[in-house]
A and B are shown apart, each in its own frame.
Chain A
Amino acid sequence: MTSTEGGRGLLMVSPPLIYALALLAVPLGAILLFSFWTQDFMAVDTTFTLNNYREIAEKPIYWALLKRSLFVAGCVTVVTVILAFPVAYFVSFHVRADRKSLWLFLITIPFWTSYLIRVFLWKVILGYNGVVNTGLINIGLIEEPLTFILYNVNAVIITLAHAFAPFAILPIFVALEKIDRSLLEAAQDLGESRAMTFFRVTLPLAMPGVVAAVLIVFIPTIGDYVTPELMGGAGGKLIANMIQTQFLALNNAPLGAALAIVAMVSVSAISLAFVLLNRRWLKGRS
C-alpha cells in the first residue's frame, strides 16, 4: 500500500491526522453527544432529548451571557484591530526594510510571559490601589479611585485587547507588506492626496489582513475563560465561565455541553457571515 503515491501521502499525514481525530474530532463529538443527554443527579441519562437546548432558550441568564460574550468579543476585536492597524502600518511603511524583523520581534516581547501573569499584571495596573488610580490621584486628576476599570466588562475588554494585539498586528502587517508601492505612487500620480490614496488603495488592499485579524481575535475571545474569571468580577462573567460552572461546580455536564455547542454555533455563524460580507474585498486576490 505504501508503494502508491496516495498510500505514501496517507502514511505521511497519518500522525497529525490521528492526533487531530483523537484530540479534536472525538472530544467535539463527545460534547455534541453529551448535549443531547441529561444529568440525573449523579448519573447521566443517555436518552436523546433537546431539554438542554430548551432550557438554554427559556432561561434568560444564558441568553444574557451569550449576548455579553458576543458584545465583549466584538468590542475586543474592534479595539484590537483599530489599535493594531497603525502599528502594522508604521512597521510596514516607515521602518527601514532591514529593521522590520527586529520591530516585529520587539512587538512580541511582552508576550513571552505567561498569559496568566499578564492578566494578573493588568489587575495591578487597573486595581483600586493600582497603577492607574494612584497615578491619576497623585497628579490630581481624580480624587476618588476609578472603579469602572476593574471587575467588570471594561477590564475584560482592556485585558483581552492587549493579549490579542500581536495576533492582529501580524496579519495586517503581512497584507500591507504585499502592497506594491508603485500602486500608491500611481494613485498620487492620478491626482489623489496621501489621505485619499490610503482610503482608495492601501485600506482596500489591506482588507484581507484586517479580515484575518478580525477572525483571529474574535473567535478565541468569545470562549475566553481566564480573563473574565479574574478580571470580570460578578458583572463581567462570560459564557465560558458558565460552561465551567455547569461542568465542575453544578455537575451538569450535558447542559454545559449544550452551552458550548450554542456558543460554537454562534461564533461560526457570525464569522461565516463576516467572511461572506467581505467576499467583495477578498475576491480575486492571492
Chain B
Amino acid sequence: MSDLRFDNRVAIVTGAGNGLGRSHALLLASRGCKVVVNDLGGTATGGGKSSAAADKVVEEIKAAGGEAVANYDSVEDGDKIVQTALDTWKRIDIVVNNAGILRDTSFKKLTPEDWELIYRVHVNGAFKVTKAAWDHMLEAGYGRIVMTASAAGIYGNFGQANYAMAKLGLVGFANTLAIEGLKKNVRVNTIAPIAGSRLTETVLPKNITDALKPEYVSGLVALLCHEGSEETGGLFEVGGGLFAKLRWERTEGKLFKLGRPITPEQVKNNWKHITDFSKVTHPTNINESMGPILGNLETKAQGGNEFIDVDTALGYEFPPQKSQYDEKDLALYALGVGAGQNPTDDSELQYVYENAPSFRALPSFAVVPALAMVFDAAKRGETAPGMNYGFDRILHGEQYTEVLRPLPTSAKLTHKAKIKEIWDKGKGAVVVMAIKTTDEDGNELFYNELSTFVRGAGGWGGDRGPSAELNVAPDRKPDAVVEEKISEGQALLYRLSGDINPLHVDPGFAKAFGFEKPILHGLCTFGFATRHVIKSFSKNDPRFFKSIKVRFSESVFPGETLVTEMWKDGDQKIIFRCKVKERDKVVISNAAVELYKEIPKAPEKKKPVAAAAGSAAAAPSGEPTSAEAFAVIKDYIEKNPGMAAEIGKTFLFRLSGPDSAWTVDLKNGKGSVTAGGDKGDCMLDLSDADFCAMVAGKADPMKLWTEKKLKIGGDVMASQKLMFLKKIDPKQAAEVVAKMRNAGGGVPAPAAPAASGEPTSGEAFAVIEDFIGKNPGMAGEIGKTFLFRLSSPDSAWTVDLKNGKGAVTAGGDKGDCVLDLSDADFCAMVAGKADPMKLWTEKKLKIGGDIMASQKLMFLKKIDPKQAAEVVAKMRGAGAPAAPAGTGTGKGTVTGKTKPAQAPAIIKALTERITKTPGLAKEVGAVVQVIVTDPDTSFVVDLKNGAGSVKEGTGAADVTLKLSDDTLAALAKGEALRDHYQRGNIRIDGDARVAPKLSIFKGLV
C-alpha cells in the first residue's frame, strides 16, 4: 500500500506548539501537507503569550524539508488563523482544533471566570476557526475537520466540570457539522485522546504521561484528515496504543401507550425494562433515535391505574409451564371434593380407587393443575407485567372449566396461560386468565378461565365487560336435587390438592380475615357440584362431562350441608345452583354444566419427529450443497472471531464429484473462507457428498478417514482442529442455508402462482384457511410463518401463523419454515392420506429454515375431513375461481393425481426374463406374492411350477413381499433386496427363507 500523502493540502493545527498539536503538525508536514502552526505561546492554564513555541515547530518542519508557517493568534480570533493559510497558500483543506487549556478545580471552588475561559478557548475557539474555514471548504467541495474532545467529557472527571462541559460540547458540534458538510465532502470527526501533554501532567503521574506519547494519537488524526477517508461524525478514543470508536447504545426501553398520564410509579414499575441492556439498539441519527416514538404516536392507551396497566397486562402470555398428575392425584382430589363418603358406592369408588373397574378422573380435576400453575408462577414471582397487586386483593369470582375429552388417569401437561380480559367494574376490576392445557403429544386436553375480582383496582373508566346474567336458575321446581353434608375436615383434605391458602386451615388466620373459622375452598364446592350433576344427569359416567361454569357468591364452612338444585336446559346443558341448607344462602350461582352427546375420542398419538438417541436422528433435509456448507462455516467463523488465533492453520479442501476447491483460513486475521486456492497447511481430499454430510453432522470426519474416504495431506495433526465443525449448531446452519436460498443463492425462486391457482392445492389451502379462521388462537400459539413451494404444477403459498389471527395467502417468498413438495403430495397430506413424517423420510418433502417449526404443522392432522369436504363443496358451489368446473367432487381429485406406476413395465420385463431363463424357477422354488402400493397393484411370481410364470392379482404363495412402487423400481434398477428390507421398505411374510434368493428383479430396468 502506498503512503497516505497530503501533497498540496493545507492544514491548520491549533495549539501546535507543544504536545499533541505539535505531533499532528509534524506528521502532516512530513507527508507533504502545508501546515499553519498556530500557538498563542501561553501556559497550560491560559496565561502569557509568546511566539517561541510555534516558531520552534515551524523550524523543525522546515528542517525536515516540509512547508509550514507560524501563527500566534488566539483561537478566539480564528478568522486570522484561517487568513494566514489563505494568505500563504490560497486555500484551506484541513482544520485540527487542538488548542486547549485547563482550569481544573472542584465545582465547589469553580469561579465564573474558570468556566468562561474554558468555554472561550475550547468551544468558542473551535467555533471561530471552523466557522472561518467552513465556507471555503463548502465552496471547494472538500474539507476535513477534527475536534479534540476528552474522556473527561464523555465520562466526567472530578475537578473538570468546565473542561468536561466544553469537550462534550465539541462532540455535539462535530456531529452536526458532519451532517451539514456531508454533501460537500466536508467530513468532521472527534477524537478523545489520551496522551502525556501539558494538560495531563496535572492528572497523571509522570511515568505514565511519558509512556503516552502524543505520536500514538497523531496517526488517527492524519487518517481522518486524509482525502481517502470517508469517516464522518465519528468519535474515537485514542492513545497509548488504543484506537477505538464509540457509539451510542440504547436499551429497548419501555414504550407506554399514549393517551393517559404516565405516572412516576409506572416509570418505577418499568425500571427493569428501561434499564435492561440485554436488548439494545444503536441509533446513529435523529431518525433512528425517534423511530420507536414515531411508531408509538398512533397508539392509544386502554387505561389502567397503579394496580393494573391494561395495555401491558391484557393479552400477556405467560411462559408455558409443565406439570403432571397421576392416579394418586386424581384420587386425592376426588376425596377432597367429598367422593367416597360411602366407601361401598361404586359410583364414587370410580373416582378414588385406581383398580376400580372403571377408574376415571372426576373431570372438575382439570382446574387443579391450572390453578397450581398460577400459584407456582406467583411463588416464583412471575406475575403478568402490568398487574401490580397482591393476593390479598383478589377473590376468585367465576370459574369456567372445559375438558376436551375424558381426562386420562395420568398425564404430562403443558399449560399456556394468557390474560384474556380485563374489565373495569368501578370499584374493583375483573381479570380473566385463560389457561390452555395440552398433553404430552401437544393435543389440547382442557381449558380453564379463572375470573378474579380485584378489590379497589377499578375505576379507570374502562370497559365494564358483559353484564348479562347467564345461567339464571329457572323459576320452577328443580329437575333434580342432591343434598350432601360436607365433612368437618373437608378443607383439610381438599387443600392437599394444591390450594394451601391458610385461610382454609388456620383458625387464627381465618379470624384475622373476619371468619369465625376456616372456610371451605370455593373450588371444593365446585367439585361437589360437579359430582352432583354427573350423578344426576350423566348416569355417574364422568366421560360425558364437557364443561362447568360457576359464580362464587358466598363462603361455605366445612360441616354445612350443601344442596345442589339442578334444572335441565336443553339436551346437553344443566343449570344449577348450590345452597347451604343451614343458612339458606346461595353459595354458587349462575352456574351450568354442559355434557357431551358422545364421549369424545382421544386424538391419534403423534409420532415424534426425531428420536432422541444419536446425532443421526436430526438429519436436516433440504441437503445443503457444498457451497452452502462453506457459507455455514464462514458464518461460524465470523461469529467466533477468536478461532483463527487459536487454530492458526489454513486448510485446503479439494472436493470431488463435482470438483471444487475451497480455502478455510484459520490463521490470518479473523479467519476467512474463500472459493478456490491451491495450498494450505493441511489438505483434505474427499467427495462433495461426504463433505456435505460431514458439515451436516451426518458423517464423522474420523470415520471418513478410517474408511479412506477422506485423505489428509500436509500437517495431518492440524486436521484435528477441524473438530470445530461438530460444534456448528444445525439450526444456525439451516438458517444460513435458508437465507442464501431466499436470496436466490441456491434454489431457484418459486414461480408465481397462476391467478386461478391449481384446483386441488388451491382448495386445500382454502381448507387450511377455514381451519385457521375457526381456531383464532392458533397463530398466537404457533408463532411461525410457513412457505409452501409446490411443484408440478408450481405454486407458492404462505401460511402465516404468527401475525394477527393468522392468514393464508397465495404467493410469497419467505417463511420461518420453507417446505418443498409436490402438489400431489401436499394435497394428500392435507387430506390426511399422506403422513408428513413419512414424506419427509422418503425425501418427498424437503424442509428448510426453522425445521422444528414444521412440527407445528401437525395441526393439519386435526382438520376434520368432513369440514374439509364442506369447504371444498362450498367453493365449487360458489364457482370460486380456484375451482374450475369439471374437476370432480370431494377429495377424489386430491388423490387422483398420481405419478405413473412403474410396476407394469417391471412385471412385463420380469415375464420376459422368466421365459428367457428357464433355470430360474428351479433355482428359487417358491411362489412369490408381490403386493405393490402407491399406486396399488399386485402380482404373483410362480418360480416353483413348470418354467415359472407371472400373473397379476393375488393367489396362494409361499412368501409375500409388500413394497411400494418406488421400491420395486429401485430393485429393478439393481438395488439389493436385503438393503431395502433392512431399511423397512419391504415387508416379508410367510417363508422368509426365499427372500435371499429373490434377485429376480435385479436389472429389469
A and B physically associate: no
B residues near A, CB below 8 A? none
A residues near B, CB below 8 A? none
